Amino acid sequence: MFSTYGWVLLLLLMERIWYFQKQPLLRPGFIWDVIYTYQNIVLQIIFLASAPIIVERILAKMFAESYFPLEGAFLQGALEDRSILLNFTVLIILGETVFYVAHYLAHRVSFLWEFHRVHHSSLIVDSFSTSRFHIFDRILFTLPTLLLMIYLKARPEAIVFYFFFRAFMDRYIHSNIPGPRWPHKLMFSSPIFHRWHHSTTPPLLHKYNFSGNFIFMDVLFGTAYDPDPKTHPLPAKFGEEYSNNLFVQQVLPFVFLYKRFKKRWLQNHPPQPQNT
């Protein structure tokens, strides 16, 4: 509940007081991003469900019941009897590794980019734009981590701490708050670091800062871009002209993929001239 309401409202308030650039609160797409943020609660009300309806969790449960039936497989249940600190540490490392790989592929594979493009469509990056994701993109980013948690039998307390921490960091790094750069030395991400990732500057697009809440994967693979803001002004342009409607955003990737497939098909199979 605190992750849903506390972090969201706290960061929203901080952005109005302390910010990189003065941005309007009711920007284009703001209402739809609020709906994105609270869509699970809306679904609870509609379906009268006692637990949040999260597609990734349902898929993870179905997959685990079908493919993790055997006990004693390699590392299966490895975290079950371990300390909460070790559980939390392993979840952070695995979660960040999965996120980096999925994020890198989402930018480098054209098919996946059409879905991840929804997240990058906001013209103004702030804490509420965090939740703007296509459902397929969310599955790509979240499902592998959930499956690893189930396979390793991570302790529930560690999972709670992990998502509590991640809920804050996800919104913080997207926020308009000018946080310091010194946490980068401790491998923590920040709004400054992640803002470069959302920049539409051609030399930067699809190339840098794929990390989530920690930046060790970017440092390890040489994809970290972290210039001093004193010599490199932070980007001010983000996103592209794209629908702000949640329902349209869920459909557009399929439309663009169909057009791309049709164009490629016609290039490879040009219409034959008819004999008269």
Instruction: Annotate 193-249 with DSSP letters as a single string.
Output: HHHHHHB--TTTTTTS---SSB-HHHHHHT------TTTSPPP--B--S----HHHH
- Any idea where the domains of the chain sit in the sequence? 2-20+27-260
Helix (H) / strand (E) containing 166: helix 156-174
> How high is the pLDDT of residue 76?
83
Packing angle of the helix pair 30-37, 246-268 (nearest 10 deg): 100
* Mean of all residue pLDDT scores within the chain: 87
> How high is the pLDDT of residue 201?
83
Give the list of residues 6+ apart from residue 111 with CB closer than 8 angstroms, or none.
257
Single-letter residue type at 145: T
> How high is the pLDDT of residue 162?
93
> How high is the pLDDT of residue 87?
96
> How high is the pLDDT of residue 49?
54
**Percent of the chain scoring above 70 in pLDDT:** 89
pLDDT tens for 2-34 read 666 667 788 888 898 988 888 888 888 999 998
Q: Which sign does the torsion angle of CA 204, 208, 214, 218 carry?
A: negative
Give the list of residues 6+ apart from residue 197 with CB closer than 8 angstroms, or none.
204, 208, 209, 210
| pLDDT band at residue 72 using 50, 70 and 90 as cut-offs | low
> How high is the pLDDT of residue 70?
60
As given in the structure block, the two tokens for residue 54 are: 């999260």
> How high is the pLDDT of residue 45?
60
Report how far apart, in Å, the C-alpha atoms of 67 and of each of 55, 58, 59, 102, 218 are: 18, 14, 12, 22, 32
pLDDT tens for 158-184 read 999 998 899 899 999 999 999 899 999
Q: Within 10 A of 122 (CB to CB), how many other CB atoms are there?
A: 25
Q: Which of 63, 262, 107, 270 is nearest to 199 (CA)?
A: 107
Which comes out higher in pLDDT, residue 148 or 6?
148
pTM assigned to the model? 0.88
DSSP string of 5-59, one letter each residue: IIHHHHHHHHHHHS-SS---SS-TTHHHHHHHHTHHHHHHHHHT-SS---HHHHH
Instruction: Taking residues 40-60, report their average pLDDT.
Output: 64
Give the list of residues 6+ apart from residue 112 with CB closer than 8 angstroms, or none.
105, 106, 137, 140
pLDDT tens for 193-244 read 999 999 998 778 889 999 999 999 999 999 999 999 889 988 888 998 899 9
Packing angle of the helix pair 191-198, 156-174 (nearest 10 deg): 70
pLDDT tens for 86-116 read 999 999 999 999 999 999 999 999 999 999 9
> How high is the pLDDT of residue 50?
53
